[in-house]
């Protein structure tokens, strides 16, 4: 597909990188020459210097003949203007990055008039992700499927735990609930495991379960069940604002530390139930004087990865029960993992994944829409949710009889109103939703991509 990306900052580059890897025809526009140099050098894209909201620039970039235009500059108003111009020129679909909370109601009312196919808010998405992790402190990551009724959660395998040394075939016998380990991260290696796979201490496992069974999963794995009642947030960003609102509604005490006085004043006005502290949140003495060692959780949200990393490592060192770290550079995740601070959030990767889902749905040949897409294990594994249609092969055939490609697992099936973690005897039917977990390099765009071609796998049932 032909796609134009306007804005080549951190979010724009991440989106461009992901779309370029999938083979799309990309043009990147930015009015800063230095911002374009990295994309030009590292990615297979065309770059243009100029104002992305300019009709002349968009015409020169071929926006009118494009399948999609994505506006992710730092200015909400400029992004909206880019989308209006692109739609007038004939672009089929437009996506805008909108960060200001005050625009939420207006965008809902004026979406069609503005020509928007989709809006993305990296900060709000990140805040929602953090809030969900604080609900189950034992989980390192949570991804939702089946309209919130099924999840894939990341758990650590601790030395001496029930899972240490367990063969996956024994999992149901031990836990007495229906779950599936669909991916395992072991050091730098990734596995899509079969039943004879043995778990070891230090593994990070990605477990599929229905949302209903999550509480039972935590109890039967003997994981930490302490409820989060107080949270310290470092940095008064948009994420901090959204997260503080969510935590306040849930009855959780919030202490927010911000170094900029003007930000503190604004946050105090908009977050009356949050304790706002004007101080340097990167200072260990400040953190201790404000009672970090007594908090149930800390979330580091400064604009610098290095600061977030250092604070999180310190918090982990003094045994704060839950530590969540915002990062932009994915490679820092490995450093945090080695230091014991395992739970990370990347707003720009969340945004990139949302846009990838939209693009995959656009290019689908069989109308098996990509409903949900999550990338896991440092972007090396994908969990993709599809809706089956009459064109889907092997409808009504037990999974054990279907020729599936290697390194792939069917993790969830939603049939009518029920969600199951499937066994070999289960089937999917037309209209069902099916979650597939596979290596990201396999790049699934429709459900029929998961089957071995009949010429290789024998006659179709």
β-sheet bridge partners, residue 234: 257, 300
> Are residues 114 and 8 part of one domain?
yes
> Are residues 110 and 6 part of one domain?
yes
Q: Please list the pLDDT of the chain residue by residue as tens digits (461 residues).
A: 999 999 999 899 999 999 998 899 999 999 999 889 989 999 999 999 999 999 999 999 999 999 999 999 999 999 999 999 999 999 999 999 998 877 766 776 777 777 788 899 999 999 999 999 999 998 999 999 988 899 999 998 989 888 999 999 998 888 888 899 999 999 889 999 999 999 999 999 999 999 888 888 888 887 766 789 999 999 999 999 999 999 999 999 999 999 999 999 999 999 999 999 999 999 999 999 999 999 999 999 999 999 999 999 999 999 999 999 999 876 666 666 666 667 899 998 899 988 988 888 887 655 556 888 898 888 899 999 999 999 899 999 999 999 999 999 999 999 988 999 999 999 999 999 999 999 988 888 889 999 998 755 444 44
> Are residues 50 and 25 part of one domain?
yes
Residue 180 falls inside a structural domain: yes
> Are residues 271 and 212 part of one domain?
no
Structure tokens at 121: 């808010």
Q: Which domain holds residue 29?
A: 2-120
Q: How many domains does the chain have?
A: 4
> Are residues 237 and 203 part of one domain?
no
Residue 425 falls inside a structural domain: yes
Please name the residues in contact with 328: beta carbons below 8 A apart, sequence gap of 6 or more.
Answer: 10, 305, 346, 347, 348
> Are residues 262 and 194 part of one domain?
no
Residue 84 falls inside a structural domain: yes
Residue 47 falls inside a structural domain: yes
> Are residues 408 and 362 part of one domain?
yes
Here the CATH number for the domain that contains residue 197 is: 3.30.70.1450
> Are residues 114 and 6 part of one domain?
yes
Domain C-terminal end among 288, 322, 345: 345
Residue 228 falls inside a structural domain: no
445 neighbors 365 (Cβ within 8 angstroms): yes
Domain C-terminal end among 297, 319, 345: 345
> Are residues 335 and 282 part of one domain?
yes
Residue 378 falls inside a structural domain: yes
Largest CA distance in the chain: 70
Tell whether pTM > 0.95. Answer: no
Domain C-terminal end among 120, 136, 169: 120
Please name the residues in contact with 408: beta carbons below 8 A apart, sequence gap of 6 or more.
Answer: 192, 436, 437, 438, 442, 450
Residue 226 falls inside a structural domain: no
> Are residues 385 and 279 part of one domain?
no
Residue 98 falls inside a structural domain: yes
Residue listed under structure tokens 């083979």: 23
> Are residues 366 and 450 part of one domain?
yes
Here the CATH number for the domain that contains residue 262 is: 3.40.50.720
> Are residues 451 and 403 part of one domain?
yes
């Amino acid at each position: 597909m032909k796609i134009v990306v306007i804005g080549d900052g951190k979010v724009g580059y991440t989106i461009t990188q992901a779309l370029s890897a999938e083979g799309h025809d990309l043009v990147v526009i930015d009015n800063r020459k230095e911002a374009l140099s990295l994309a030009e050098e590292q990615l297979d894209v065309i770059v243009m210097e100029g104002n992305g909201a300019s009709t002349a620039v968009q015409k020169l970039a071929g926006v009118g003949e494009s399948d999609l235009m994505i506006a992710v500059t730092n200015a909400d108003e400029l992004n909206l203007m880019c989308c209006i111009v692109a739609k007038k020129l004939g672009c089929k679909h437009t996506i805008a990055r909108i960060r200001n909370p005050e625009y939420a109601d207006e965008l809902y009312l004026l979406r069609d008039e503005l020509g928007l196919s989709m809006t993305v808010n990296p900060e709000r998405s990140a805040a929602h992700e953090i809030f969900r992790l604080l609900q189950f402190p034992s989980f390192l990551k949570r991804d939702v499927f089946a309209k919130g009724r099924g999840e894939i959660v990341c758990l650590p395998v601790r030395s001496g735990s029930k899972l240490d040394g367990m063969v996956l075939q024994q999992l149901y016998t031990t836990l007495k609930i229906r779950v599936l380990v669909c991916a395992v991260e072991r050091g730098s290696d990734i596995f899509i495991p079969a039943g004879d796979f043995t778990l070891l201490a230090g593994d990070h496992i990605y477990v599929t379960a229905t949302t209903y069974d999550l509480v039972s999963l935590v109890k039967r794995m003997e994981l930490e069940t302490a409820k989060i009642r107080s949270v310290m947030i470092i940095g008064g960003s948009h994420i901090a604002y959204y997260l503080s609102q969510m935590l306040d509604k849930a009855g959780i005490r919030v202490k927010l530390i911000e170094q900029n006085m003007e930000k503190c004043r604004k946050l105090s006005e908009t977050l009356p139930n949050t304790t706002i502290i004007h101080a340097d949140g990167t200072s260990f003495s400040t953190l201790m004087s404000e009672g970090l060692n007594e908090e149930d959780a800390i979330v580091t949200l400064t604009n610098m990865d290095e600061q977030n990393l250092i604070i999180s490592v310190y918090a982990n060192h003094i045994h704060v029960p839950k530590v969540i770290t915002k990062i932009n550079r994915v490679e820092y995740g490995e450093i945090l993992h080695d230091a014991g601070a395992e739970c990370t959030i990347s707003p720009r990767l969340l945004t990139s994944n949302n846009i990838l889902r939209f693009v995959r749905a656009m290019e689908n040949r069989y109308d098996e829409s990509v409903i949900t897409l999550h990338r896991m294990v440092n972007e090396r594994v994908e969990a993709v949710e599809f809706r089956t249609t009459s064109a889907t092969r092997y409808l009504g055939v037990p999974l054990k009889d279907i020729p599936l490609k290697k390194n792939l697992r069917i993790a969830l099936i939603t049939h009518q109103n029920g969600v199951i973690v499937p066994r070999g005897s289960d089937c999917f039917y037309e209209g069902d939703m099916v979650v597939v977990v596979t290596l990201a390099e396999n790049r699934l765009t429709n459900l029929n991509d998961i089957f071995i071609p009949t010429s290789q796998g024998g006659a179709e049932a």
